[in-house]
């Protein structure tokens, strides 16, 4: 197993002052068990996805002009300070499949690698999502193959899993997200308890393989999900063990309090900080953060921004009304502000080559362009960071109508080092945004 | 998703008489069980009567309190109690005596009392009246007064107590009169009917055999269809996607099952042919239906095909229950908000046959200080699994094991056995984890092996193969060598067992696909236990699974009955009812803080909502139906309900909570919920409960479409399809709408001029508008705040007209098959852990027939499901021959 070396130190402005830690530069010192070579990668490439539900107010989102001199639209205004680090991409589409709920489909299929005609039994074109395909590749180098986070503020059991998840191992097999900051922290930095349990893994793995022989086809599929998870955890434990010493040095402080007690912006920022921390320390190279689930139709407080609780989903259907539309655009701006704050933090973290942001593809998007009509054409998309110098930033590019968003996934996959030729209904890569 | 439409609806029922579903009561309290009406809580208060705690005077009073009254000589104190069944009773009245208590004459309004047994001071003045002297040196219980063999009618009874004077030794109360203390009144029925009402046996659905005409063959059916259907269903017409061309040439029925089911449904529900096509004569239609029925049944019987159930992972409530029951723990392992009702003292005891009249209970879900913070130190639950759309969170397809969850399972097992409280929490701690001193390793291994063999059979709910046992015993041996301690090693194995896939997955079938009928009844025992208990089978059930006896219908029936008498069946309320009613939506319901301040406990405090109390009402009603084995139709409309005083005031008082303004309007802690008789039919049942009305509203107005969709989903099991994309916007505040001189209904109708929208909304919306008289927090209103009239008329299923909510209830009671089918379908889907499919239709109909025959008695629904081939996963036995 590879050892990572500690090179120099820096500070992250995460979690306010409560979480200050030495910066770790993750690097490898040799080839990977005869397989892929990661040695050239002094500062590995990372990918992160920041999801906002229910679409956006299109008229306030889309910049009017294109190119490097484009003017930020009202909603994207909060990105002014990091303008040089971002690219606004418009006219990227997903083909909507009739017959399933527009919202559930938006979250579930946004990152899916399935083409619109490849329906899963649940009725969605749902296959292993792009982040998980990336993790299949990068997971060989990191302790955690991927990190899924959620700032779902709802405590009820109102909508199905399809509204609440963007990351999937495959249909019926969700990559569950964590929404308690303390648990994320525990998982990333306090793996000792799992190390203790390692001996159980062999036992249950053997038991599972016996059991498999007794099962029919469908049941086997379910058991295989279990087995795959045991293997993932097994690797995780080994790798965390290998990195125990370094991780002890970082000794970050545990976030304080439960999410229920946090302000809305605090909740998103703390989750974002934990995500940045995991990327920075190379505990993982792929992460996703869902700011809220689709639909849910439940009012939520957004402190300081709004006096009364916000009603994201209801507002999307009321945006014909001028006042409602303005409120909705303000809520969009709130989400963009949260994204911008995280981009700024990433831009301040220096790595061997450039900053963390330079080495990351940090994507802001939604599975609907507008919640009003559940449209999937011209999905809101902003990419921050250069993916290790491979992306051009500081521009707005409008693609020809009907360009599949899968083309973006394919482009990102290639930057991450995947050899895929096609993802979902992709027709090629987006050459115009590559350096 | 809606699969089946309604059973054939036969227009207006003859006479329109509705059955009184309150008669149905499968479980009666045992003889010795006496119905107690507590003075302080169950009896109605009037005049100066009030609650008084008697804790300072000792533990002798029932519930530690009595009802206190005072008055001047000549004053009369009356109180009401409700008699549920007419009959002959011994009435016992327990008073309190004290130095300032008076003499009273008692009577039960107009009820003759033939015989009184009591203390010396008790005399009977005439046939109707009794006198008692409540003077005593100290505060103490009075000798009980017995009114023997009193004939009582069903309904409200009034006990009248007239203050006639006082014992010479008595001192006056506040120098103007005397007191009375009433601890309780109890009723002991003397003429109890012998046994449960005779149940109608499984109905033989084959009245068809009397039919003179023979069933049609496939070819004959095909030729009939040719005449009426092929014009449109020919694969090329734009009229329909259903292509029946294959029926022309091919007589292989096995390829046509899906189509046959679809045709049968369309014919049975008069959906086809459309109005503009040639009608099918009634005889031909019914003959076609019958023929298709029998072909489908034959086919199902031959193919033994019930849709497969995917192996599923336990959800967190099931995991908790399974660990609790496996290790015989004293209670839960972690806090579970899913278990909404948090009892002050145990109250759920089905074998008693009576759901208590008064229950002290808190809301775990919304009473944030009522979730037990920690039960076992260091043990916390994994994330809640979300409900499937229109279904439950126990479907294999949706329940996967991600790496994070696997981490949870591994650390949970460890955390449970290493919690500091574990040893005293585990009833079988010594039997399982302790070993005598001085054993050799080999002896220890042998001891462990024996214990593990038994434990693993229970944990894995299946016969344990030698290799599997060996594997875990070896693990024990390794750990024992490493730690040198039997107990520690044993705990390690138990933690491993709890992370095994054999423990975590509920397997519906034992054998691999393609092999024959399951050899043992283990899978059946599993399904039964997870259905009724949300847990693993107990020892008795496993024994019957081992021998296979469980497969015998009578044994299965007895076991089902036994399980429904076990307090563990409360899981049906915690896991099924809560999800079926989608009560979770109340958690996040946020009526506008300014518009509905009284929904919140106090000014400036948004944390405590009335949902704290209202959420419990439907669940307690459900539990009372379950425990007393009443009819599920009471969920539509009931003449009783369970409410706290505060919740009751919400429903009945113009100004609820006595105008409490800037202090807590209502209690946020545990509350006493009492059974209340309802005479106002606008209340009662779940349909019109405050909980349902609030959670289906928007912050500033009702939302008839959401309400309608809820009613269609929950009560009709006909959830609307996903809404179209171009949903027009509607004002979020009804005041804005009314300011334009329009009601919400008119505004919504304005929007549904589009035909595509209207087709769905014409089904959903009337159900929502029927409930428009209940405002966004569930209070009755006669008109909108602007003075505009509320229009709540409509038609149920487009057929049965109603003019308001009460008439909607009436229509549902008049056509009970609608709700019975819906409820049964929900419960079947829950029991099976899968969505229902078109191929299930025949079995579902059989179940519903049984439920109808038993007037919706709760146990009847359960028995019908458990005995169905759908649940047995086996071919139907020969019940019907053509």
**Which DSSP string corresponds to B609-639?**
ETHHHHTHHHHHHHHHHHHHTBBGGGGT--S
Q: How far does B407 lie from chain A, in Å, by closest CA?
A: 7
pLDDT of residue B473: 97
B87 shares its domain with B45: yes
* Own/partner pairs, B229-233, CB within 8 angstroms, 24+ separation: B229/B263, B229/B272, B229/B273, B231/B277, B232/B277
Interface residue of B335, B386, B615, B727 to substitute, partner A, most A CBs within 10 Å: B386
CB < 8 Å to B511, chain A: 214, 216
The two structure tokens encoding residue A1 = 């197993």
B867 found inside a domain:
no
Taking 90 as the threshold, does the pLDDT of residue B236 lie above it? no
Residues B178 and B224 in one domain: no
Residue B229 inside a domain? The answer is yes
Instruction: Report the Cα B46 to chain-centroid distance in Å.
Output: 34
Q: Give the range among A155-169, A335-349, B186-200, B357-371 with minimum mean pLDDT.
A: B186-200
Residue B685 pLDDT exceeds 60: yes
Residue A372 lies in a domain: yes
Residue B210 DSSP class:
G
Shortest CA distance from A376: residue in chain B: B725
Q: Is residue A89 part of a domain?
A: yes
CB contacts of B698 in chain A (<8 Å) are 311, 314
Chain B residues closer than 8 Å to A222 by CB: 310-313, 396, 400, 505
Best residue of B305, B308, B381, B404 to probe chain A, by most A CBs closer than 10 Å: B404
Residue A201 has pLDDT above 50, yes or no: yes
**Residues of B in Cβ contact (< 8 Å) with A298:** 588-590
Residues of B in contact with A178 (CB under 8 A): 383, 404
**CB-based contact B502 A211, cutoff 8 Å:** yes
Of A223, A229, A324, the CB nearest to B406: A229
pLDDT recorded at residue B295? 78
On whether residue B467 sits in a domain, the answer given is yes
pLDDT of residue B191: 77
- The confidence score (pLDDT) of residue B192 equals 66
Query: How far does B487 lie from chain A, in Å, by closest CA?
Result: 17
State whether B163 and B260 are in the same domain: no
**B431 and B482 inside one domain:** yes
Strand segments, DSSP code E, in B628-776 are: 640-643, 671-677
Q: What is the mean pLDDT of residues B552-569?
A: 97
* Domain assignment of residue A309, yes or no: yes
The answer as to whether B794 is a domain residue is no
**β-pair partners for A49:** A288, A363
Angstrom distances, CA of residue B307 to CA of B116, B520, B851, B870: 65, 20, 23, 8
Give the residue-averaged pLDDT of A151-162: 87
Residue whose C-alpha is closest to residue B589's, from B598, B581, B604, B599: B599
CB < 8 Å to A121, chain B: 397
We report the CATH number of the domain holding residue A318 as 3.40.720.10
pLDDT on residue B516: 44
**Do residue A145 and residue B732 have CB atoms under 8 angstroms apart?**
no
Q: Does residue B227 sit in the same domain as residue B177?
A: no
A262: domain range?
46-182+250-433
Contact A121 B510 (CB under 8 A): no
Per DSSP, the three-state class of B78 is strand
Terminal-to-terminal C-alpha distance of chain A? 34
Which of A101, A172, A229 is opposite residue B722, by nearest beta carbon?
A101
Residue A402 distance to chain B (closest CA, Å): 19
Are B130 and B241 members of one domain?
no
SS3 of chain A: CCCCCCCCCCCCCECCCCECCCCCCCCCCCCCCCCCCCCCCCCCCEEEEEECCCECCHHHHCCCCCECCCCCCCCCHHHHHHHHHEEEEEEEECCCCCCCCHHHHHHHHCCECCCCCCCCCCCCCCCCEHHHHHHHHHCCCCCCCCEEEECCCCCCCCCCHHHCCCCEEECCEECCCECCHHHHHHHHHCCHHHHHHHHHHHHHHHHHHHHHHCCCHHHHHHHHHHHHHHHHHHHHHHHHHHCHHHHHHHCCCCCCCCHHHCCHHHHHHHHHHHHHHHHHCCCCCEEEEECCCCCCCCCECCCCCCCCCECHHHHHHCCCCHHHHHHHHHHHHHHHHHHHHHHHHHHCCECCCCECCCCEEEEEECCCCECCCCECCCCCEEEECCCCCCECCCEEEEEEEEEECHHHHHHHHHHCCCCCCCCCCCCCCCHHHEC
Beta carbons of B590 and A299 less than 8 Å apart? yes
What contacts B549, CB < 8 A, 6 or more positions away? B521, B555
Kind of pairing between the strands at A46-51 and A360-365? parallel
Mean pLDDT lowest for which of A250-264, B255-269, B594-608, B849-863?
B255-269
Q: Rounded to a whole number, what is the distance in Å from the CA of A67 to chain B's nearest CA?
A: 33
Residues A168-189: b if buried by 16+ CB within 10 A, e if exposed: bbbbbbbbbbbbbbbbbbbbbb
- Asked whether residue B385 falls in the same domain as residue B478, the answer is yes
Q: Which of B172-186, B283-297, B852-866 is the most confident on average?
A: B852-866
| B503–chain A nearest CA distance, Å | 11
Q: Confirm whether B364 is domain-assigned.
A: no
Domain membership flag for residue A64: yes
Which of the residues A204, A230, A322 would you substitute to probe the B interface, choosing the one with the greatest number of B C-beta atoms within 10 Å? A204
Note whether residue A404 is domain-resident: yes
- Tens-place pLDDT, residues B276-311: 777 888 888 888 888 887 777 777 666 656 677 889
Q: If pLDDT is split at 50, 70 and 90, which confidence band does A34 have?
A: very low
Q: Which two tokens stand for residue B306?
A: 């019930």
- The pLDDT, as a whole number, for residue B701 is 93
> Residues of A with CB below 8 A from B388's CB?
160
Asked if A298 and B588 come within 8 Å (Cβ–Cβ), the reply is yes
| Cβ–Cβ gap A215/B588 under 8 Å | no
Based on the fold, state whether residues B318 and B461 are members of the same structural domain: yes
CB-closest option in A155, A233, A308 to B587: A155
Distance in angstroms (rounded) separating the CA atoms of residues B761 and B155: 42
Q: Which of A145, A219, A324 is facing B311, going by the closest CB pair?
A: A219
Q: Tokens in use for B864?
A: 């019908």
**Residue pLDDT, tens place only, B651-674:** 998 888 876 666 788 888 888 999
Over residues B613-628, mean pLDDT: 97
Contacts of B469 in chain A (CB under 8 A): none
Nearest residue of A to residue B410 by CA position?
Answer: A197
Q: Please report where in the chains the tokens 């490493």 appear, as a residue.
A: B482
- In a 10 Å sphere around its CB, with 0-12 CB exposed, 13-18 middle and 19+ buried, how is residue B5 labelled? middle
Output b/e per residue, B452-462; b: 16+ Cβ within 10 A: beebbbbbbbb
Contact A311 B500 (CB under 8 A): no
Beta strand B600-602 with B76-83 is unpaired
Q: Does any domain span residue B197?
A: no
- Mean pLDDT over B852-856 rounds to 96
Residue contact A204–B495, C-beta within 8 A: no
Best mutation target among A101, A162, A167, A176 (most B Cβ atoms within 10 Å) is A176
Binary contact (A216, B509; C-beta < 8 A): yes
pLDDT by residue (tens digit) across B774-809? 999 999 999 999 999 999 999 998 889 999 999 999
Pairwise CB contact (< 8 Å): B308 & A216: yes
* CB atoms closer than 10 angstroms to residue B278: 9
Q: What are phi and psi of B232, to 5 degrees?
A: -90, -40
Q: Which domain holds residue B401?
A: 312-335+372-506
Give the one of A154, A176, A223 whose C-beta lies nearest to B383's C-beta. Answer: A176
Distance from CA of A69 to the nearest CA of B (A): 35
**Beta-carbon separation of A226 and B504 below 8 A:** yes
Distances (CA, A) of B539 to B278, B418, B458: 62, 26, 7
- Tokens found for residue B352: 């008693």
Domain count, chain A: 1
pLDDT recorded at residue A29: 32
| pLDDT tens sequence across A373-386 | 888 999 999 999 99
Q: How far is B388 from chain A (nearest CA, A)?
A: 5
CB contact under 8 A, A318 and B592: no
Residue B308 burial by Cβ neighbours in a 10 Å radius (0-12, 13-18, 19+): middle
CA distances from residue A121 to A55, A171, B308, B769, B867 in whole angstroms, order as listed:
26, 8, 14, 36, 29
Closest CA to A47 of A123, A134, A122: A134
pLDDT averaged over every residue in chain A: 86
Domain count for chain B, please give it.
4
Q: Encoding tokens for residue B41?
A: 């809580």
Q: Do residue B331 and residue B476 come from a single domain? A: yes
How does pLDDT run across A100-150, given as a tens digit for each residue? Answer: 788 999 999 999 999 988 888 778 889 999 999 999 999 989 999 999 999
Q: What pLDDT does B717 receive?
A: 94
* Within-domain flag for A197: no
- Average pLDDT for residues B169-197, to the nearest whole number? 81
Residue at which a domain ends, from B548, B571, B594: B571
B320 and B462, same domain (yes or no): yes
- Do B449 and B553 fall into the same domain? no
Say whether A311 and B732 touch across the interface (CB within 8 A).
yes
More confident residue, A8 or B341: B341
Distance from CA of B649 to the nearest CA of A (A): 27
A77 confidence band (pLDDT: 50, 70, 90): very high
Query: A169 and B402 in contact by Cβ < 8 A?
Result: yes
Give the DSSP letter of residue B423. H
Closest residue of chain B to A161, computed from CA coordinates = B386
A220 domain-assigned: no
* Residue B820 DSSP class: H
The answer to whether B585 contacts A156, with C-beta atoms less than 8 Å apart, is: yes
Confidence tier at B33 by pLDDT (50, 70, 90): low
Question: Which of A217, A226, A314 lies closest to B401 in CB terms?
Answer: A226
Cα(B148)–Cα(B790) distance, integer angstroms: 52
- CA B460 to chain A, closest CA, distance in angstroms equals 11
Q: Is residue B724 part of a domain?
A: no
Residues B52-79: tens digit of each pLDDT: 888 888 878 887 789 999 999 999 999 8
B260 is a domain residue: yes
Q: What is the tens place of the pLDDT at every residue in B758-775?
A: 778 888 999 999 999 999
Chain A CA closest to residue B492 = A200
Nearest-neighbour CA in chain A from B420: distance (Å): 17
Question: Which tokens in the block code for residue A86?
Answer: 């971002």
- Cβ atoms within 10 Å of B567's Cβ, excluding its own: 15
Residue of chain A whose alpha carbon sits nearest to that of B388:
A160
**Predicted pLDDT of residue B306:** 66
Distance from CA of A176 to the nearest CA of B (A): 6
Helix (H, G, I), strand (E, B) or coil at B878: coil
pLDDT per position as a tens digit, B87-141: 888 888 999 999 999 999 888 877 877 677 764 445 666 677 888 899 999 999 9
B58 and B148 in a common domain: yes
pLDDT at residue B220 in the model: 79
CATH, residue B49: 2.60.120.260
């Amino acid at each position: 197993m590879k050892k990572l070396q500690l090179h120099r130190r820096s500070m992250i402005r995460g979690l306010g002052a409560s979480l200050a830690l030495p910066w770790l530069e993750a690097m490898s010192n040799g080839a990977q068990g005869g397989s892929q070579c990661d040695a050239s990668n002094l500062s590995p490439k990372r990918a992160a996805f920041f999801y906002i539900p229910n679409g956006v107010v299109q008229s306030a989102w889309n910049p009017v002009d294109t190119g490097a001199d484009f003017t930020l639209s009202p909603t994207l205004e909060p990105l002014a300070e990091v303008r040089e680090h971002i690219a606004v991409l418009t006219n990227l589409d997903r083909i909507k499949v009739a017959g399933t709920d527009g919202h559930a489909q938006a979250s579930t299929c946004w990152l899916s690698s399935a083409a619109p005609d490849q329906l899963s039994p649940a009725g969605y074109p749902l296959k292993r999502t792009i982040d998980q395909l990336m993790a299949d590749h990068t997971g060989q180098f990191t302790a955690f193959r991927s990190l899924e986070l959620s700032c779902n503020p709802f405590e009820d059991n109102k909508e199905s899993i399809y509204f609440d998840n963007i990351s999937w191992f495959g249909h019926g097999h969700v990559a569950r997200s964590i929404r308690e900051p303390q648990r994320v922290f525990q998982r990333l930095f306090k793996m000792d308890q799992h190390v203790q349990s390692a001996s159980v893994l062999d036992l249950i793995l053997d038991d599972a393989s016996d059991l498999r022989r007794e099962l029919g086809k469908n049941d086997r599929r379910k058991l295989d999900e279990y087995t795959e998870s045991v293997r993932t955890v097994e690797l995780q434990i080994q790798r965390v063990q290998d990195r125990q010493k370094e991780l002890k040095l970082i000794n970050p402080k545990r976030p304080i309090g439960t999410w229920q007690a946090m302000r809305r912006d605090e909740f998103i920022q703390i989750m974002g900080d934990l995500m940045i921390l995991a990327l920075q320390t190379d505990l993982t190279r792929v992460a996703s953060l869902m700011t809220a689930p689709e639909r849910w139709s439940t009012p939520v407080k957004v402190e300081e921004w709004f006096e009364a609780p916000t009603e994201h989903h209801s507002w999307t259907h009321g945006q014909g009304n001028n006042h409602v539309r303005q409120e909705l655009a303000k809520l969009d701006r709130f989400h963009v502000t949260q994204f911008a704050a995280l981009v700024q933090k990433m831009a301040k973290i220096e790595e061997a080559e450039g900053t963390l942001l330079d080495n990351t593809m940090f994507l802001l998007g939604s599975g609907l362009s507008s919640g009003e009509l559940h449209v999937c054409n011209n999905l809101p998309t902003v990419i921050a960071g250069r993916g290790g110098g491979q992306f051009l930033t500081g521009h707005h590019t409008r693609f020809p109508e009907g360009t599949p968003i899968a083309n973006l996934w394919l482009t990102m996959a290639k930057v991450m080092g995947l050899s895929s030729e096609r993802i979902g209904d992709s027709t090629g890569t987006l050459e115009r945004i590559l350096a | 998703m809606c699969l089946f439409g309604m059973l054939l609806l036969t227009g207006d029922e003859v006479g329109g008489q509705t059955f009184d579903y309150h008669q149905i009561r499968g479980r009666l309290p045992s003889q010795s069980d006496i119905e107690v009406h507590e003075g302080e809580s169950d009896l109605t208060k009037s005049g100066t009567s009030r609650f008084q705690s008697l804790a300072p005077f000792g533990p002798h009073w029932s519930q530690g309190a009595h009802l206190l009254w005072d008055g001047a000589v000549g004053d009369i104190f009356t109180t009401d109690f409700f008699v549920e069944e007419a009959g002959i009773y011994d009435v016992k009245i327990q008073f309190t005596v004290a130095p300032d208590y008076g003499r009273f004459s008692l009577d039960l309004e107009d009820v003759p009392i033939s015989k009184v047994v009591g203390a010396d001071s008790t005399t009977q003045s005439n046939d109707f009246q009794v006198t008692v002297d409540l003077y005593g040196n100290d505060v103490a219980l009075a000798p009980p007064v017995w009114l023997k063999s009193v004939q009582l009618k069903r309904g409200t009874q009034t006990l009248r107590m007239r203050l006639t004077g006082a014992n010479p030794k008595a001192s006056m109360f506040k120098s103007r009169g005397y007191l009375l203390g009433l601890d309780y009144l109890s009723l002991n029925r003397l003429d109890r009917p012998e046994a449960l009402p005779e149940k109608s046996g499984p109905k033989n659905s084959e009245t068809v055999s009397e039919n003179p005409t023979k069933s049609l063959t496939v070819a004959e059916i095909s030729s009939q269809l040719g005449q009426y259907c092929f014009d449109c269903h020919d694969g090329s017409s734009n009229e329909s996607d259903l292509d029946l061309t294959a029926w022309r040439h091919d007589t292989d029925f096995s390829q046509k099952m899906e189509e046959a089911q679809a045709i049968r449904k369309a014919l049975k529900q008069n959906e086809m042919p459309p109005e503009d096509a040639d009608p099918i004569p009634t005889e031909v239609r019914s003959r076609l239906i019958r023929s298709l029925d029998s072909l489908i049944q034959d086919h199902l019987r031959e193919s033994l095909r019930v849709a497969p159930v995917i192996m599923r992972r336990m959800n967190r409530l099931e995991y908790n229950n399974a660990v609790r029951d496996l290790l015989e723990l004293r209670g839960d392992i972690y806090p579970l908000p899913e278990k909404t009702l948090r009892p002050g003292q145990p109250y759920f005891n089905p074998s008693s046959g009576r759901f208590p009249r008064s229950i002290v209970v808190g809301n775990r879900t919304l009473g944030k200080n009522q979730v037990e913070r920690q039960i076992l130190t260091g043990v916390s639950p994994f994330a809640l699994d979300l409900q499937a759309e229109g279904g439950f969170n126990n479907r294999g397809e949706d329940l996967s094991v991600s790496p994070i969850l696997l981490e949870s399972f591994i650390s949970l097992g460890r955390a449970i056995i290493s919690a500091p409280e574990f040893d005293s929490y585990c009833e079988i701690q010594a039997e399982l984890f302790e070993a005598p001193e001085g054993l050799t390793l080999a002896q220890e291994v042998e001891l462990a092996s024996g214990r593990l063999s038994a434990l693993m059979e229970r944990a894995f709910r299946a016969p344990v193969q030698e290799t599997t046992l060996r594997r875990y015993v070896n693990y024990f041996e390794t750990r024992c060598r490493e730690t040198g301690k039997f107990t520690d090693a044993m705990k390690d194995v138990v933690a491993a067992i709890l992370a095994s896939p054999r423990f975590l997955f509920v397997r519906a079938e034992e054998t691999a696909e393609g092999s024959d009928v399951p050899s043992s009844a283990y899978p059946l025992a599993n399904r039964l236990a997870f259905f009724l208990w949300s847990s693993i089978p107990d020892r008795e059930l496993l024994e019957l699974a081992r021998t296979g006896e469980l497969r015998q219908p009578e044994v299965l029936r007895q076991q089902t009955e036994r399980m429904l008498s076990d307090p563990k069946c409360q899981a049906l309320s915690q896991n099924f009812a809560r999800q079926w009613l989608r009560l979770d939506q109340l958690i996040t319901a946020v009526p506008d803080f300014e518009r509905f301040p009284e929904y919140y406990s106090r000014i400036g405090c948004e944390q405590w909502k009335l949902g704290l109390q209202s959420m419990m009402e439907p669940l307690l009603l459900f539990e009372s139906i379950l425990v007393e084995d009443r009819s599920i139709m009471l969920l539509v409309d009931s003449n009783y309900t369970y409410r706290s005083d505060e919740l009751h005031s919400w429903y009945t008082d113009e100004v609820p909570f006595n105008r409490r303004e800037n202090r807590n309007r209502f209690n946020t802690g545990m509350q006493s919920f009492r059974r209340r008789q309802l005479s106002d039919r606008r209340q009662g049942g779940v349909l019109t409960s405050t909980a349902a009305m609030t959670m289906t509203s928007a912050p500033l107005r009702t939302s008839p479409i959401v309400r309608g969709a809820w009613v269609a989903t929950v009560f009709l099991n006909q959830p609307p399809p996903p809404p179209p994309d171009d949903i027009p916007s509607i004002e979020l505040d009804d005041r804005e709408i009314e300011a334009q001189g329009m009601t919400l209904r008119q505004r919504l109708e304005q929007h549904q001029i589009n035909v595509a929208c209207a087709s769905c909304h014409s089904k959903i919306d009337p159900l929502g508008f029927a409930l428009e008289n209940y405002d966004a927090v569930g209070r009755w209103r006669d008109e909108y705040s602007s003075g505009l009239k509320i229009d709540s008329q409509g038609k149920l299923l487009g057929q049965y007209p109603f003019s308001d909510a009460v008439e909607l209830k009436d229509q549902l009671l008049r056509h009970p098959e609608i709700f019975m089918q819906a409820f049964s379908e929900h419960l079947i889907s829950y029991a099976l852990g899968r969505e229902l499919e078109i191929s299930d239709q025949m079995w579902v109909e059989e179940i519903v027939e049984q439920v109808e025959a038993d007037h919706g008695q709760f146990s009847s629904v359960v028995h019908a499901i458990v005995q169905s081939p759908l649940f047995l996963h086996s071919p139907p036995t020969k019940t019907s021959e053509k």
